[in-house]
Structure 1
């Protein structure tokens, strides 16, 4: 006899199950049980992972889910606000049961949400086939009612279910897990089962693997409900018995129900549903005329409509006319070949004719592989949505990943990288000796990506297209924060613990303890230790669901027939309940619609250039040997250039000095930790520049390695060497590459024998062949996918070409795309200033939403209104519409306010425009505009109301225009420099019209070596520069020490300051609050610009306070009114310090007087004092320091 658990909740019963999905089947196998069911709450999230885990453990999987049933109908909502339904388990018996449970789950989520996703009896009746129902536990249809003394409700509910499912598919659960009233519930359940002729089954409502895991479930439930573990009013666990019990334990609990224990295995054996891992569900690939292979006009018309050729091929639009069927093009493979051949014919117009034969030969090879693997439809589907995007002017990337190695993809315009030009291998993409679904990831411009997804929905039908679910796990930092919250730790204390965990992807809490500060905190504080230990117990469990950023699946039938669906929020679209790997494994066709903002930048830059120059620019036809482009790359001018703008990459540019597109492609592959740390990059550079000889172990390697100077850089080179020396097929060679990358010893030994035997058969020296194999094995760990490198290297070159030849337009487009990233905008503005491009401030009369380059002055960029904080897209549109209306540009501040739509523009928007200086053109002071804004808006709205009421026309009839009062600025002092710059920083994130360091001109002139812009011209080694920290990036070294990279800026530019661990330990405190600083250090020069290896930091305020001997106040005699004297004395008395104050009084035609002020008025010479004195006399230049 045996037993199988049929009521089990894993981690996918979100925050109500504590069983890691991959541990369930091994635990069942360890107990010697033959089968187990997975019955999570209203989902099949873990079903595929569970299935594969069961197969590995030798356990029979049973699939199911727990659903909430609302007998009154899913439209019912209890007026008392309570949930009145009950819980039941549904086990999948066969294929029909899987489809029906998928439909029930999907309908519950999309149509039945009220507290929980619900189904009703009518829905169960429609979708009952192939399902076995268990009556669940204390929240089920009968046990809860029986425990509460309500047998009538229990009987009525069971009668309803029995009427739908019958005695063969409905079983009454018996449980003994430690809840109150269970004995009575079990007795009543047995009696009801007898009355209705039903059989019973023993379950244990499993939520964790072992009894000692009960506190983990309690912790998860507190996280889910957001209540404290210490909350006296919360529902607390009353049992620790919800674990995976042994058969013996259950037989001891149910000595009189042994048949109900044995029945669990009978039920499990009836559940014979299996996932189909061999079938692919390609949409629009089955034509109407007979079978798929039939070559008929009807099929040709079907495929031509389903997968129309791109517009620029000049073929008829299928909506207007279907051309006559070409020979052999009336079935799937035939149409696929026709489409590819037609596209290649167009591509070859730019290829020398003597090379055409190579292309046609390669095309046929790819046809044979693609068609034999059954993937012709996949290519046509991808080609359709990519070419639809291109036909609708939606930028598409030239390629991504290994797909760029396919000539078919290039012919069909899926990619724009010629694989023969770059020596790319198709078998790296699609290996006939390792059959798996092709994976074409596609980059679209960020702002129109959703249009392509929507097109796909419209084309195939909303029911056939969905996005892919993701599972958010309780990873290390999140686990700490969640556990700390329910343990009543303050946010700051939780944050302190979490921030000590290194920012490493997938880091475990156990591994994080290598951080000395974290380990010490845990050991030294019992409360922290408890939280840390609890967090480790929930770490890795699933917390929530989300939606994959790019993944979309498409099928040939409504997806609910293949997988249950989920919805991310009330307004969300359909999402398949399987994650990406699981969805692909059950045959769903997955596509990645990725957003690449670089494509937006290129598009916007080209539009600006074409507007300003009247030139048409085709980015696919730019010269690939452009001298200015390579000059830009060689000097490391890579800020804003795709893939090469990091400081490390820019430094590598200056060392490598790329001179060909192949060098740029190699650069993308080389700039990774493996090659950089192995010495491979240095070897590559030395060989390129002739400092090392380019050597080949065999002459046969030269054609393969010539473009990389004899260094194995790409995975494709490993494959080609194996093919050339040892007669590997390219499919075999791809398996060799994978084996080398994974370094599996057994497989490597087998491959080495194969390689050496092949080399020997080809007449090569075995010792030399072994040396080459060992070198390949070493390089394979660092080798990169050349197809991806070629595609992204090409985009990198395109952006470099734009920056080199149309710098202002490119930088404007770049800043528009990055307008929400203040740090990057500041860096790019510095780059513009260094290259002589002026940045003009925002101006409501001249600025647009985007950063713009005036046609008349292509050496300036006008700041974009869309980059001003708290303004928003709608408000900017309203401003520009008002400006573009009949009145033209605004004539005054009031003219602007009177023309605005106040449904879209509010006071806060206008305040931030004033702070940013966008109204400086009016001639009014910013402080006056700001203080008078509310009254001005009221006046403008009254004017609008008068116009709407027709009063303007009435007065106009008197024979002349009635003069309206203009803006009357209030009499308020202008903002101080500090206040003005602070407001600018509020509005745009940095300083536009000046810099706080300018307030310390005397200190900067005296103690700084130079301004930042002049650093590259310095001849000294040790320098001091003044400025403020624009960006701060702190990292940990390999030894665990902290160091930092600070971007320091002044009014002239910015410089990177590198603080090694000792300097950072002494200086970090100066960067806690924004403040003007003086940084001292060693100047490091390179082609990409100056850097400072920082040694020390001082606050400019402290320098001023420490080194100023006296404060001199310069006033005119006429300014010395009694009130001002009292105000000045009050200011001085409030600034307690050790610095003497003197009053310098100037009198017309009389001698100047300098008065030493009393000792009690000694002051602190800081910015606050200077501003306060300035406000007393309402003018600048009052104070000087000595």
Structure 2
């Protein structure tokens, strides 16, 4: 006999296992063992991956889990002993055991959480069949109490377990892993085995592969427990023996327990459960109590009700019937109903397609129907069509398509997609290949804010026990590993943050790759602490740290999911989540769908609603807009694409200007081409040059012109590779899809086979061998960059829809866009700037006029009113209270007190009111913001008292008695001088995230042209590496020390058109830090522009206060005022200010009159001034305008 490890913890025993499944199977094979178990804590997360890994190595897999048992019942909670109860190992014998372990794990997680998931003896009694149990280690029911001198407790626990499980399904574990008490516990297990007639079995409680991996486990456990490595109070490991021992090592440790070692193999052989692959658990695909496939009215009715067509395709239901009569020619089987549904849908689609093209559509449909039926996927399509058409019938926006599903005419006919695959020359075989059968994968975009409704509909339709979301595993990727290790090594947050930020923001980057970055490598080589952190982080990199819920994945089955997989939930309020990741869940037959949220669909819906409301017209059908609209292409050619789906980045906008798209096909190609591969290979420039005639459009052979004409002879799409193989070498499209896959994977042996097939086929068709060789190599090169045209067409169409809205209904489009992005102040600032450039007026928030979202008032169509929901600190409850008060009490508030009297002050608290005042939402009262702010406490107190009096009935009682004297005088805000311009704008920025009614930089607007190269909103249009000089206010700054002790600075700059981060290295920071000493100072920064995936940065050379610069160079001060504002009182106030700010700069008073006329007066030398901030703010305050002072 041999030995099999039956107690093994992998990385899926989260932060308590230091080995990966991928490494486990080869390691077991290498030490000559024939099988191995996986027994992670209360989960089967890794079971499917483990099965496949063992299969690859020729090992016998034993599936199991560690369970925590609370014998007093899962309701028992002992605050003094969080580790109450004991640990058992459960191993799966057969399918019954698998279902029972699923139940135990699921019930532990859903019903038994107290510090950890627990089961009790009653649950064990109900779900123990098909399972073999081992008594675990020092936290088990026997070893721990025996070792600490409590044999009676060990006997009592063993008696309970033996009574439930029986001697053939309960084994006593023997372990020698270097822990105190191991020998004593082993003696106890042997003695109890004799006493109870139970057998012993040797295990090693494996947590890592080699003894030298013990510190890795220690590190992971510290992260999990949230304690520092050097903390003397923590529970420290006292062994390095929890590794994958050889059989010889274990026989040496247990010379007298040979049978207990041999018994591991016996148990392994008894555990014959394996997952079934290639089966699918489609829900609602089999009519109850009828013969599947029978052509009956009952079957027809069943399928019609299970998968009803969209509302406008529905058939009339006779009185008293539960479904329509089966149409003539329709079949009552699953495939028959599927075919009827598809044909019915196509008839509806063909109403918009010229009649002479109908035969092409019908031929394609019948071909696809036959393929889908043959592959057994009719139910899949019907399930997807049902929830998509339910959403559409309930006015939930659904995207036109996503991924390769847009290539299916059946999907188009069933309204799963809204992209005509024949119009866009899309291929069904790119979606479903009859020569490589695999489950279809339809990803669906729903609007973000109603996506959950569709998932809930699916739960209700199929039953909550039949529907689940999918788990995800959060890994210790490079940055997270560094931060976690730094925390347990007690490195301060700033230093840890500095190290982590030097790791590039590249998906999947490893620490080894990151150390090639010069800055990180210097730190690694020059700082011992950093070296230790990075080395420790490398040891745990890639381990699973935590679980989560997949953002989109949902699985559905034909039976309660717990029969097919254990379930998990993310927190006490979470719903069921299947414990297998997406690939594993699909591989064991669970039917997976992706319910994705795409906020662009919310934006389109909201814009269309605004347009319909303002124009008093029926809603625009966005699937029927003119795809040759001149205004839309003008907008795209100009690169005016901020907010346009997929093309709003600076790189895309630059490409739009170069490409000058003239048709939808150009936009579709652009979505496919804007990726690193095609850009770096020069394909994009080649495409543009060919479009505009700067390069000749050529085709490798004339027969390829129909395939490559729309892309000017450039191979852009994977579908083109497939079509070329079909035309030149007589591939079927199924074969051609295999060629595409082979070219994408670049496996030499597979490529050699495909090349031989391609070239020989071309030669048979009369093409020259050398020419065929050359075309194959050309395709192989392009295939590395080729994109899925089906996805590109679907998303290109959404891009066009948003561009059409912006070109034809700009204000509504931008209002909807800003409402969707209201939490992102950086984006709002960029979009507001875009609106202003286009001549759209931005009205401030107003408690009388604003809605929750940004709005376009009906009587001011080129105007956007700022939304209350975009003001910071004002939650939904407060906004609802304001809107409710406006409606319930007859509309507008008369003044501040009327507003406070009518508001529910429990929902609208003082902090909310302060932010509303700061944002300008009470400016309509005519009172200064400073006065409203200063008087708010008294106003709120007065309103609260009045509301309390009304609630207690006092007001009504006194009124009835006819007494009470005259009404109390209404509250009036104090006569407070308005805040200075800088303070007012600063408060505005606090309330909305940026300067709204103006910007401190605007005070220098007339002078900026002499100093700046561009504004921040235009930085993305500048070239990489350009020397730039920009103005702005520092909204955030921090100083750090380098490893050499030098200081460097990071400053976020805002100029009212955009924001940018400026990086000051030590020399530059030494020169510039003083510019950021005081808050609220406008500065001028000079430096080099750096473009990254995250946006623009400036590597700054210098910074200086803008006012000082302009003041030092000002030759004259112009004070610009309107003649109506030039009252005697204000003139007196101005003279006093000028005397207080006396200086040497001459002053001109410019009085502006109607019809653009003005009077200029040079003031006497005694009124020369120092035009500093105090003076500029003073003038702005006197005349209530930000641009009153201009320096010349």
SS in 2 for 1:113: coil
SS in 1 for 2:439: coil
Deviations along 1:179-224, whole A, 9 cap, x unmatched?
Answer: 1111111111101001111111000111111111111111111111
Pair 1:659 & 2:662 matched:
yes
Displacement after TM superposition at 1:1045 (Å): 14
SS in 2 for 1:171: strand
- Of residues 589, 592, 607 in structure 2, which corresponds to 1:590? 592
Pair 1:756 & 2:762 matched:
no
Structure-2 residue corresponding to 1:119: 119
Superposed, 1:328-477 pairs within 5 Å as 328-477=330-479
Work out the CA distance in 2 between the residues paired with 1:402 and 1:1065: 52
- Of residues 678, 702, 711 in structure 2, which corresponds to 1:708? 711
Superposed, 1:618-657 pairs within 5 Å as 618-657=621-660
- Of residues 589, 606, 609 in structure 1, which corresponds to 2:611? 609
Displacement after TM superposition at 1:998 (Å): 3.2
Superposed, 1:58-69 pairs within 5 Å as 58-69=58-69
Work out the CA distance in 2 between the residues paired with 1:728 and 1:1022: 55
Work out the CA distance in 2 between the residues paired with 1:70 and 1:876: 48
SS in 2 for 1:118: coil
SS in 1 for 2:138: coil
Work out the CA distance in 1 between the residues paired with 2:150 and 2:144: 9
Displacement after TM superposition at 1:299 (Å): 1.0
SS in 2 for 1:98: helix
Deviations along 1:721-752, whole A, 9 cap, x unmatched?
Answer: 10111110100000000111111111111001
Work out the CA distance in 2 between the residues paired with 1:1045 and 1:786: 43
Displacement after TM superposition at 1:243 (Å): 0.6
Structure-2 residue corresponding to 1:782: 785
Superposed, 1:11-30 pairs within 5 Å as 11-30=11-30
Pair 1:935 & 2:938 matched:
yes
Displacement after TM superposition at 1:514 (Å): 0.8
Contact 2:201 2:264 in 1 (8 A): yes
**Kindly tell me: are residues 771 and 454 of structure 1, through their superposed partners in 2, closer, same or farther at Cα, counting changes over 3 Å?**
same
**Kindly tell me: are residues 856 and 1027 of structure 1, through their superposed partners in 2, closer, same or farther at Cα, counting changes over 3 Å?**
same
Displacement after TM superposition at 1:262 (Å): 0.9
Displacement after TM superposition at 1:1015 (Å): 12
Displacement after TM superposition at 1:84 (Å): 2.1
Work out the CA distance in 1 between the residues paired with 2:1099 and 2:31: 62
Work out the CA distance in 1 between the residues paired with 2:217 and 2:1014: 63
Work out the CA distance in 1 between the residues paired with 2:16 and 2:205: 12
Pair 1:834 & 2:840 matched:
no
Superposed, 1:11-410 pairs within 5 Å as 11-78=11-78, 80-316=80-316, 321-326=322-327, 327-410=329-412
Q: Which runs of 5+ in 2 are unaligned?
A: 1038-1047, 1091-1095, 1121-1125, 1150-1161
Contact 1:1128 1:1176 in 2 (8 A): no
Structure-2 residue corresponding to 1:800: 803
Superposed, 1:904-923 pairs within 5 Å as 904-923=907-926
Displacement after TM superposition at 1:696 (Å): 1.5
Displacement after TM superposition at 1:65 (Å): 0.3
Contact 2:1003 2:1190 in 1 (8 A): no
Structure-1 residue corresponding to 2:848: 845
**Kindly tell me: are residues 1048 and 353 of structure 1, through their superposed partners in 2, closer, same or farther at Cα, counting changes over 3 Å?**
farther
Contact 1:204 1:242 in 2 (8 A): yes
Deviations along 1:299-341, whole A, 9 cap, x unmatched?
Answer: 1111111001110224247997411112342111001101101
Question: Bigger CA drift: 231-240 or 1023-1032?
Answer: 1023-1032
- TM-score by length of structure 1 reads 0.91
Question: Bigger CA drift: 745-754 or 1097-1106?
Answer: 1097-1106
SS in 2 for 1:294: coil
Structure-2 residue corresponding to 1:539: 541
Displacement after TM superposition at 1:357 (Å): 0.7
- Of residues 1072, 1082, 1092 in structure 2, which corresponds to 1:1076? 1082
**Kindly tell me: are residues 1178 and 442 of structure 1, through their superposed partners in 2, closer, same or farther at Cα, counting changes over 3 Å?**
closer
Q: Which runs of 5+ in 1 are unaligned?
A: 1033-1042, 1085-1089, 1133-1138, 1158-1162
Deviations along 1:96-138, whole A, 9 cap, x unmatched?
Answer: 1111001000000001111211111111111111100000001
Work out the CA distance in 1 between the residues paired with 2:720 and 2:782: 10
Work out the CA distance in 1 between the residues paired with 2:85 and 2:28: 32
Work out the CA distance in 2 between the residues paired with 1:961 and 1:445: 59
**Kindly tell me: are residues 1050 and 190 of structure 1, through their superposed partners in 2, closer, same or farther at Cα, counting changes over 3 Å?**
closer
**Kindly tell me: are residues 278 and 21 of structure 1, through their superposed partners in 2, closer, same or farther at Cα, counting changes over 3 Å?**
same
Structure-2 residue corresponding to 1:1167: 1173
Contact 2:147 2:184 in 1 (8 A): yes
Work out the CA distance in 2 between the residues paired with 1:1180 and 1:276: 73
Displacement after TM superposition at 1:972 (Å): 3.1
Contact 2:982 2:1080 in 1 (8 A): no
Displacement after TM superposition at 1:945 (Å): 2.0
- TM-score by length of structure 2 reads 0.90
Contact 2:1138 2:1175 in 1 (8 A): no
Work out the CA distance in 2 between the residues paired with 1:970 and 1:216: 66
Work out the CA distance in 2 between the residues paired with 1:1167 and 1:153: 81
Work out the CA distance in 2 between the residues paired with 1:1064 and 1:836: 39
Displacement after TM superposition at 1:1010 (Å): 9.7
Contact 2:826 2:1059 in 1 (8 A): no
- Of residues 471, 477, 480 in structure 2, which corresponds to 1:478? 480
**Kindly tell me: are residues 1013 and 576 of structure 1, through their superposed partners in 2, closer, same or farther at Cα, counting changes over 3 Å?**
closer
Work out the CA distance in 2 between the residues paired with 1:536 and 1:374: 46
Work out the CA distance in 1 between the residues paired with 2:291 and 2:982: 79
Displacement after TM superposition at 1:946 (Å): 2.5
Structure-2 residue corresponding to 1:565: 567
CA RMSD of aligned residues (A): 3.9
Displacement after TM superposition at 1:1167 (Å): 3.2
**Kindly tell me: are residues 563 and 612 of structure 1, through their superposed partners in 2, closer, same or farther at Cα, counting changes over 3 Å?**
same
SS in 2 for 1:397: coil
**Kindly tell me: are residues 946 and 205 of structure 1, through their superposed partners in 2, closer, same or farther at Cα, counting changes over 3 Å?**
same
Displacement after TM superposition at 1:1183 (Å): 9.8
Displacement after TM superposition at 1:403 (Å): 0.1
Displacement after TM superposition at 1:589 (Å): 0.4
Pair 1:970 & 2:971 matched:
no
SS in 1 for 2:522: helix
**Kindly tell me: are residues 1062 and 796 of structure 1, through their superposed partners in 2, closer, same or farther at Cα, counting changes over 3 Å?**
farther
Deviations along 1:261-284, whole A, 9 cap, x unmatched?
Answer: 111111111111010011111111
Work out the CA distance in 2 between the residues paired with 1:209 and 1:760: 55
Displacement after TM superposition at 1:1002 (Å): 7.4
SS in 1 for 2:118: strand
Work out the CA distance in 2 between the residues paired with 1:1116 and 1:347: 71
Superposed, 1:485-564 pairs within 5 Å as 485-564=487-566
Work out the CA distance in 2 between the residues paired with 1:364 and 1:1066: 75
Pair 1:926 & 2:932 matched:
no
Work out the CA distance in 2 between the residues paired with 1:1062 and 1:1181: 36
Q: Number of aligned pairs? A: 1149
- Of residues 1086, 1103, 1108 in structure 1, which corresponds to 2:1109? 1103
Displacement after TM superposition at 1:706 (Å): 1.2
Displacement after TM superposition at 1:530 (Å): 1.1
Work out the CA distance in 2 between the residues paired with 1:1059 and 1:229: 34
Structure-1 residue corresponding to 2:738: 735
Work out the CA distance in 2 between the residues paired with 1:1180 and 1:691: 51
SS in 2 for 1:117: coil
SS in 1 for 2:123: helix
Work out the CA distance in 2 between the residues paired with 1:1152 and 1:357: 87
- Of residues 655, 673, 676 in structure 2, which corresponds to 1:673? 676
**Kindly tell me: are residues 1067 and 23 of structure 1, through their superposed partners in 2, closer, same or farther at Cα, counting changes over 3 Å?**
farther
Contact 1:1111 1:1141 in 2 (8 A): no
Contact 1:1143 1:1155 in 2 (8 A): no
**Kindly tell me: are residues 1071 and 666 of structure 1, through their superposed partners in 2, closer, same or farther at Cα, counting changes over 3 Å?**
farther
**Kindly tell me: are residues 369 and 525 of structure 1, through their superposed partners in 2, closer, same or farther at Cα, counting changes over 3 Å?**
same
**Kindly tell me: are residues 1044 and 709 of structure 1, through their superposed partners in 2, closer, same or farther at Cα, counting changes over 3 Å?**
farther
**Kindly tell me: are residues 226 and 1054 of structure 1, through their superposed partners in 2, closer, same or farther at Cα, counting changes over 3 Å?**
closer
Deviations along 1:609-631, whole A, 9 cap, x unmatched?
Answer: 00111222111111111111111
**Kindly tell me: are residues 618 and 1142 of structure 1, through their superposed partners in 2, closer, same or farther at Cα, counting changes over 3 Å?**
closer
**Kindly tell me: are residues 320 and 806 of structure 1, through their superposed partners in 2, closer, same or farther at Cα, counting changes over 3 Å?**
farther
Displacement after TM superposition at 1:903 (Å): 2.2
